Structure 1
Amino acid sequence: MSELRTTALHDRHEALGGSFTDFGGWLMPVRYSSDLAEHHAVRTAAGLFDISHMAEFAVEGAGAAAFLDYALAGAISPMRVGKAKYSLVLAESGGIVDDVIVYRIAEHRFLVIANAGNRDAVATAFAARIGAFDVEVDDHTDGMALMAVQGPASRDIVEATDVVTDVTPALADLGYYAWASGTFDGEPLFVARTGYTGEDGYELLVPNRAAGALWDALLAAGEPLGLVPAGLAARDTLRLEAGMPLYGHELSLDIVPAQAGLGRVVAVDKEDFVGKSGLAAVVASDAPVLVGLVSEGRRAGRAGYAVFDGADAATPAGEITSGALSPTLGHPIAMAFVSPSLSEPGTLLFIDVRGTRIPATVTALPFYRRNS
């Protein structure tokens, strides 16, 4: 078994008393204090996450936009410089290799951020798709640190970090799914208004050599505003409440985008892209689709738990992919793949929670939306 990797902020996490877990081959903080405290801090003030395990690919060249149009499911060429876009890397079959965010840095330069556990899969897919495109793809993951400030106080915190300077455009003018450039203590700084929590916030990318100082500066600026360091456990319940998929749970090579509610991400009118022929095949009418489930009480369905269409049904009608007792809403929530015939909101299903059938109602995603 290979040794787990650590980020440039690992010593900070240890000093803060973080508990660690293996995530995508990285030793990452799962919590510092309590899952609930960190979750509520993000919903009410702000949380600071180390997400340096994510993979960063620079895509550059005269053919960069055309290459990404072919390599990804979305329409990348129409993107404006300064904007970001959620997209998918598909297999020839139409199954999902990974979900990514693409940032247009310049006319012929893009940044693609992929999931940690899929770094090699995305690198392999990009290498196989370059062909005759005039493009270079470079993996910058090992030299970069990425952290996220998420929550209603996030803008005030980043603006109060006095060694963050020359941010252009100013955060007050930065739209959602857009990015700005700046400097931090003389180092290049990339600030994106993106996140994975359902709250407003920013993701900040700097060279590893500046990571520790930026983390410290953000904590210092945020302490008076309620900022706390937050780990993977809070990040998971936050993204679940926001109905955001997690690769390996809601997304996989065995799932096509439409099943996961991501059909809108695919630019089906593009002339060609990897996965187009696979998606053109007729999807079985009974192929499971992703739904939200809500129930009462305190017993939550977890990933892998069976879903039934009756209290006494013998054969499962689906399976939970992610589930938890929602810290914000106060009742159990879950995402599950079920038969399309059972996917209508209001449908009553049952989750097998350790031998007990718990009633659960199908609901539209997301479970939670921020007020503004």
Structure 2
Amino acid sequence: MTEAKKTPLYETHLEHGGKIVEFGGWLLPVQYSGILEEHRAVREKAGLFDVSHMGEVLVKGDDALAFLQNLVTNDVSRLTQNKIQYTPMCYKDGGIVDDLLIYKQGEEDYLLVINAANIEKDWQWMQENKGNFQVELTNVSAKTAQLALQGPLAQSILSHLTDTKLEELAYYWFLPNVIVAGKETLISRTGYTGEDGFEIYCQAEDAAELWAAIMAAGKPYGLLPVGLGCRDTLRFEACLPLYGHELSKDISPLEAGIGMFVKLDKGEFNGQAALAQQKKNGVKRKSVGFVITGRGIARAEYPVMAEGRRIGTVTTGTYAPTLEKNIGLALVETEFAKVGQEFAIEIRGKNVAAQVIPKPFYKREGQKV
């Protein structure tokens, strides 16, 4: 068995009372003070996450754009410098290899940010698809740390540590070579919580000092160190998909409800033929949001039942702290996917009533979806 990996902030988490768990082969804090308290801190003030387990790959060379256009479903040619794009990356059959962010750093110069549990698989898939493209791929995951400062007070806190005018940085844009607390970083206005915030990339050796500086600057604002537990409840309320749950090799982007990131007319790419066929024929399954109207909490893998048979599977389910309801996401047969549709979730052998509700469950004020 391979030993679990540690981020550069592992000792910092221990010092601050982080409860460590293994996640995707990494030892990370699931919580500090408690999931509910940390969740509310991010919604109302700010929280600081260690997301250094995420993977980073540089894509450079004369054919960098052509390589990426073939690799992913979104249209990378639409990116301008310092802009970020979200995209699925698919197999030939339309199943999802991973979902990722693409940062355009320059002409034929891109940074890919990939999911921690998929780093090796993604790297292998990129190598297999390199073909005759004139492109250089560099996995810089081990050298790179990433902190996520999320919440309505994130900008106020970070402004104390940099001269950069953060108010000028728009959502899904980034700035390279930003000095934060004396360290060189790349800052993007992105996140996985449904709140405003920033993701800060730095050299692994600078992570601990940067963490300490941000926590100190955030103390007057009520900033808390936060763990993976509330990261999941936050992203879930905002209906942001998680690989291994809403996305997988057995689920296509169209089924997952992220078909807007599939550009079938951009030219040939992995999975294009299969996805075009799905779009033409209509998908047989859809990702839906639901609320438990009976008593109980749905969990991933629980059966969804209707008309005396199984019609789908829960992909994520939990108590939503902001909504104070037991809600979930499920992949169900398309005929049962309309808002208002009633079905049941099988919870420990008993069918519990549930109803399809609109997504996302939570949207911050002023947010454009």
TM-score scaled by length of structure 1: 0.95
Specify which of 252, 255, 262 is matched with residue 259 of structure 1: 255
Residue 275 (structure 2) pairs with residue 287 (structure 1): no
Q: What residue identity is the alignment partner of 2:288?
A: V
The secondary structure found in structure 1 opposite 2:210 is: helix
- Offset of residue 282 of structure 1: 4.3
Match of 1:178 among 167, 173, 176: 173
- Deviation of the 1:21 alpha carbon: 1.3
Mean CA deviation greater in 337-346 or 290-299: 290-299
* Structure 1 position 329 matched with structure 2 position 323: yes
Q: 1:1-372 maps to which residues of 2 (within 5 A)? A: 1-161=1-161, 164-165=162-163, 167=164, 170-181=165-176, 182-282=178-278, 287-296=284-293, 299-310=296-307, 313=308, 315-372=309-366
**Aligned mates of 2:333, 2:186 — CA distance in 1:** 43
Contact 1:68 1:76 in 2 (8 A): yes
Give the Cα–Cα distance (whole angstroms) in 2 for the partners of residues 184 and 328 of structure 1.
Answer: 32
**In the aligned structure 2, how far is the partner of 1:233 from the partner of 1:16?**
16
Query: Offset of 1:285 from its aligned partner?
Result: 5.8
Deviates more, 1:125-134 or 1:14-23: 125-134
Aligned length: 364
Q: Give the Cα–Cα distance (whole angstroms) in 2 for the partners of residues 338 and 292 of structure 1.
A: 10
Residue aligned with 2:288, SS: strand
SS at match of 1:291: strand
Counterpart residue identity of residue 235, structure 1: R
Offset from partner CA, 1:120-179 (integer Å, 9 cap, x none): 111111111222222111000001100100100011111112xx34x3xx2111110000
Give the whole-Å Cα distance in 2 for the aligned partners of 1:184 and 1:142: 21
Which ranges of structure 2 fall in alignment gaps of 5 or more residues? none
CA-CA distance at 1:275 after TM superposition:
1.2
SS, match of residue 6 in structure 2: coil
Shift of 1:279: 1.9
Per-residue deviation, residues 173-213 of structure 1 (Å, max 9, x unmatched):
11100001202355321000000001011000000111001
Structure 2: how far apart are the matches of 1:282 and 1:261? 13
Distance 1:193 1:281 in 2: 35
The secondary structure found in structure 1 opposite 2:66 is helix
Answer yes or no: is the 8 Å Cα contact 2:190–2:196 preserved in 1. Answer: yes
TM-superposition CA deviations, 1:201-230 (whole Å, max 9, x none): 100000011100100001001111111010
1:278-323 deviation per Cα after TM superposition (whole angstroms, max 9, x unaligned): 223447767221000012466210101111125xx2x211111100
Q: What is the SS of the residue equivalent to 1:268?
A: coil
Structure 1, 256-265 or 357-366: larger mean CA deviation:
357-366
User: Deviation digits for residues 243-290 of structure 1, max 9, x if unmatched?
Assistant: 011100111111111000011101100221111122234477672210
Structure 1 segments (4+ residues) deviating >3 Å: 184-187, 280-286
Q: Take 1:245 and 1:287, find their aligned partners in 2: how far apart are those partners? A: 19
Q: Which amino acid aligns with 1:57?
A: V
Provide the TM-score with structure 2 as the length reference. 0.96
Aligned partners of 1:266 and 1:76: how far apart in 2? 11
The structural deviation recorded for 1:327 is 0.5
- Matching residue's letter, 1:190: L
Letter in 2 for 1:174: L
SS of structure 1 residue aligned to 2:5: coil
The answer on whether the counterparts of 1:89 and 1:122 sit within 8 Å (CA) in structure 2 is: no
CA–CA separation in structure 2 for the residues paired with 1:338 and 1:219: 43
Within 2, Cα distance between the matches of 1:25 and 1:338?
30
Cα RMSD (Å) of the superposition? 1.4
Instruction: Answer yes or no: is the 8 Å Cα contact 1:296–1:331 preserved in 2.
Output: no
Q: Is the 8 A contact 1:43 1:199 kept in 2?
A: yes
Q: Is the CA contact (8 Å cut-off) linking 1:298 and 1:331 kept in structure 2?
A: no
- Residue segments in structure 1 that go unaligned for 5+ positions in a row: none
